[in-house]
Amino acid sequence: MRSALPRHDTAAPAPALKPGEVRVTGQVDKPSTLTLAALRALPQTSVEVEYTSAKGRQKHTYQGVLLHDVLRDAQPRFDASKKNGQLRGIVAATGAGDYRAVFAWAELDPGFAKSQILLAVAEDGKPFDDAAGPRLVVPQDTKGGRYVSELNQLWVGTVDATVDGAGGASGAGN
């Protein structure tokens, strides 16, 4: 027998993204959609990187905005009642073709790490166009797997639901 449960989908679907836009969503107080122009208007940082990719050894200079600054402005909701509650935070970056990479909040928070993960708007002095969109650049990585091209979404959340739902992983003796 099929149940006729009421639907609770009250949120309208998010509008489609235009090329070059990045949506910031998840457990944040200020979700937003950023354009390349908006990213270029923010304080810029340059990093020189070397990494290995499917194309071989790469060496580039990227210019862009620190990922931490963009996500801090979105005001992530971390549990302040937990010691270092932000350390439960995770960020999923999605790009072209549903390519995705995941980061721990501590990797991008200057209070915990010395990394400078960027939302790059230019490579080797050449600005990205809207079709290329911004690129996530992870200077500390030796492989380019987490360099997310054509970045279109940043999702912020916590591991709590996953860990707490993992079959009693938080119980005594585990």
pLDDT of 93 reads 97
Q: Domains in the chain, please, with CATH?
A: 22-159 (3.90.420.10)
pLDDT of 167 reads 52
Q: Go through the chain and tell me how many residues it has.
A: 174
DSSP calls for 116-148: --EEEEEETTEE--TTT--EEE-TT-SBGGG--
Q: Which pair of tokens denotes residue 101?
A: 């990479």
Centre a 10 Å sphere on the Cβ of residue 26 and count the other Cβ atoms it contains: 20
pTM, entire model: 0.83
Going by DSSP bridges, is the β-strand pair 100-104/118-123 parallel, antiparallel, or unpaired?
Answer: unpaired
Mean pLDDT of successive 10-residue segments in the chain (174 residues)?
Answer: 42 74 96 95 96 93 96 92 89 94 94 92 95 93 94 93 62 42
Q: Which of 139, 154, 14, 12 is nearest to 76 (CA)?
A: 154
Q: Which pair of tokens denotes residue 127?
A: 């600005």
Q: Which of 113, 114, 89 is nearest to 103 (CA)?
A: 89
Q: Which of 118, 9, 106, 19 is nearest to 62 (CA)?
A: 118
Q: Which pair of tokens denotes residue 31?
A: 């979700």
CA 70 to chain centre: 9
pLDDT of 1 reads 41
